[in-house]
Amino acid sequence: MWARQREASSMYKRLSSRDYADTLDVESRDYMNSMDLEDKSALLQDGTGIDTSNPSWRLSFPHVLVATISSFLFGYHLGVVNEPLESISVDLGFSGNTLAEGLVVSTCLGGAFIGSLFSGWIADELGRRRAFQLCALPMIIGAAMSATSKTLAGMLLGRLFVGTGMGLGPPVAALYVTEVSPAFVRGTYGSLIQIASCLGIIGALFIGIPVKDVVGWWRVCFWVSTIPAAILALAMFFCTESPHWLYKQGKTAEAELEFEKLLGVSHVKVAMAELSKLDRGEDVDSVKLSDLLYGPHFRVVFIGSTLFALQQLSGINAVFYFSSAVFKRAGIPSSLANVCIGIVNLTGSVIATALMDKLGRKVLLQWSFFGMSVAMAIQVAAASSYASETGSLYLSVGGMLMFVFTFALGAGPVPGILLSEIFPHRIRAKAMAFCMSVHWVINFFVGLLFLRLLEQLGPQLLYSIFATFCVMAVVFVKRNVLETKGKSLQEIEIAFLPQD
């Protein structure tokens, strides 16, 4: 499929980027000035030859599928040490050292923070495709280091390398999927990122099943992850580059060619004209931190950062960390408990994929956070002294599964999709990097403080705090988030432009 797309002839004569940009600029200005974006349907009746029907989703789907491999790897490395941790600690000589075990689990989070900090610069400087390949490289090296390590230090260094790739992958995946997807399936394609992460977590759990029966199997668990990482690095050679990135680099002719492969010949002129309309000659390299925190872009960055903050403050990772203990009380083994959580998470993500471009992002976010607040209220009831031991157990398990399910319906997949849509192209990569850094910082502190707060405050008060954050998220989404379903990235950017 990729080979045929790359052999497709261009609908325009291949000019230099500067000459082509001048030619297209004249055409697009005449075109855009004579007709508003919402009135494109009239063009077909005028016989201009511009197709305003939806392009085929099949053209862009293979490229999106390859991009989601990075999300699969993200999920896999989150879950890869869950089952083998005991075997790793015995083989590497730190059995019983809870601090060392915690470092093996959390070192990758520190690496992810570093990777996310640099993801915006890498995506803007090198392009989206090379950013994916750079993401795969530390995952291959780090996994190999962990698989061959004979000491705790070697394991931690490998996990740190893997973490940098984990931090780089998600924001670049969100950027790439948003920029190469047709508007009418952009939400559906974005949901595939969450599904891939869920499959990665479940895959790691299943790969880790023989670890207690086969000596040294934990090394195999790390080696297996190098296969999808290598596939990602190699497959990106055959994928298209983001036309949005190419256009901002002045490579207008190349951007037109990539749009042709992604959307089809008849949709190129509309896509290029929309890019031209919003081109204000701003330099992507000139974006500074102050541009994100002050001025005209503050509103969208504030919305993005707050959404990621509320996502983590809802208690989702605390629920994941505490799930094994809750299921253990019910007599369910931790391995089976993790699979149950993974399947519920995957089910919710699949349903979100079907609803994303039908109900819209805002509706899913609101009802997702509302459902999470109800689930937390059930957890509060389970921790109440009025509940019987059996009733408390059922409420705990039921509330936890409901929380994960409703999270997967909206609060999990939507923020990453929505943010990559609402950020203007000039700041998109760096703003995503900033917001993902906020995500990782809060994720780290929630994981660090959860057990201590649980001991000091008790489950009833702590879950009440999480429920309050979920309610705050519902109100925040209702007041601040605009619906982006079915809109082009250019229409969304216009909607968020500051009013004079």
In the chain, the N- to C-terminal Cα span, in Å, equals 47
Domain that holds residue 209: 57-239
| Cβ-based neighbours of 477, under 8 Å, separated by 6 or more | 307, 362, 365, 366, 369
**Cβ atoms of 414 and 368 closer than 8 Å:** yes
Residue that is last in its domain, among 239, 260, 278: 239
Query: How large a percentage of the chain has pLDDT more than 70?
Result: 82
Quick: pLDDT tens for 166-178: 999 988 998 899 8
Q: Which residues contact 76 (CB under 8 A, 6 or more apart)?
A: 200, 201, 203, 204, 225, 228
Amino acid in the structure at residue 310: L
Q: Among 239, 263, 286, where does a domain finish?
A: 239
* pLDDT, averaged across the chain: 81
- pLDDT tens track for 399-440: 888 999 999 999 988 988 888 888 887 788 888 888 888 888
**pLDDT higher at 477 or 294:** 477
Flag whether the pTM goes above 0.85.
Answer: no
Whether 431 is in a domain gets the answer yes
Question: What pLDDT shows up at residue 188?
Answer: 87
In a domain, 336, yes or no: yes
Mean pLDDT of 264-277: 83
CATH number at residue 185: 1.20.1250.20
* Domain end residue (candidates: 206, 239, 272): 239
Q: Within this chain, do residues 228 and 313 fall inside the same structural domain, yes or no?
A: no
For residue 97, tell me if it sits in a domain: yes
- Over the stretch 208-222, which tens digit does the pLDDT of each residue have? 888 888 888 999 999
What residues contact residue 98 under an 8 Å CB cut-off, 6+ apart?
none
Spatial distance between the Cα atoms of 155 and 142, rounded to a whole number of angstroms: 9
Are 172 and 70 contacting, i.e. CB atoms less than 8 angstroms apart?
yes
Q: Is residue 461 part of a domain?
A: yes
Are residue 374 and residue 492 in the same domain, yes or no?
Answer: yes
- At 303-350, the pLDDT tens digits run 889 999 999 899 887 676 666 666 776 677 766 777 788 889 899 999
- The reply to whether 226 and 371 lie within a common domain is no
**Degrees (nearest 5) of the Cα angle 450, 406, 399?**
60
Query: How many domains, the chain?
Result: 2
10-14, 293-297, 338-342, 493-497: range with highest mean pLDDT? 338-342
Domain annotation covers residue 135: yes
- Higher pLDDT residue, 291 or 100? 100
